[in-house]
Amino acid sequence: MAILKILQYPDERLHTVAAPVAQVTDEIRLLVKDMADTMYAAPGIGLAATQVDVHKRVIVIDVSETHDQLLVLINPEIIASNGISDYEEGCLSVPGIYGKVQRAESVTVRAWNAEGESYVLDANGLLAVCIQHEMDHLAGKVFVEYWSQLKQSRMLAKLKKKQRSAIHV
């Protein structure tokens, strides 16, 4: 079990666009396992490889209550979306910060699983939001960047204050 270091916003590495995975190897399967361990330990419901400073198109998600339904998306691609929803989001890379983001209500995504097999998944609600949120990470975007400049400035000030007080503890 390896717990990886999660990059914290506004780290510039979070803006790196992830490269496609050419094929699922043992190295990719180990990355998936380590990312899952990291996500569960955080605790969180989704993690993109970009957040652990690995710039490959790999995502792990588990929105189940029991934390035993790991979803692996390698090279995910949204092939359809419907509706609009406002969801209160948080992020392991922006701890303690939450806010609404407008996203598609449902998505159809095509991806590979940890064995390299292609599959298509229809998702709605929290799972759809989580998929879109994590795919943003692969594109180098963090959810707070959907907010107005004023709201982003306030959030950054709050983060800096938290970091300063953590140093003095």
- Catalogue the active-site residues: 134
Q: Which two tokens stand for residue 54?
A: 């690995």
Residue 91 φ/ψ, nearest 5 degrees = -160, 140
Closest CA to 59 of 42, 67, 47, 44: 47
Q: Which residue has the tokens 């298509």?
A: 120
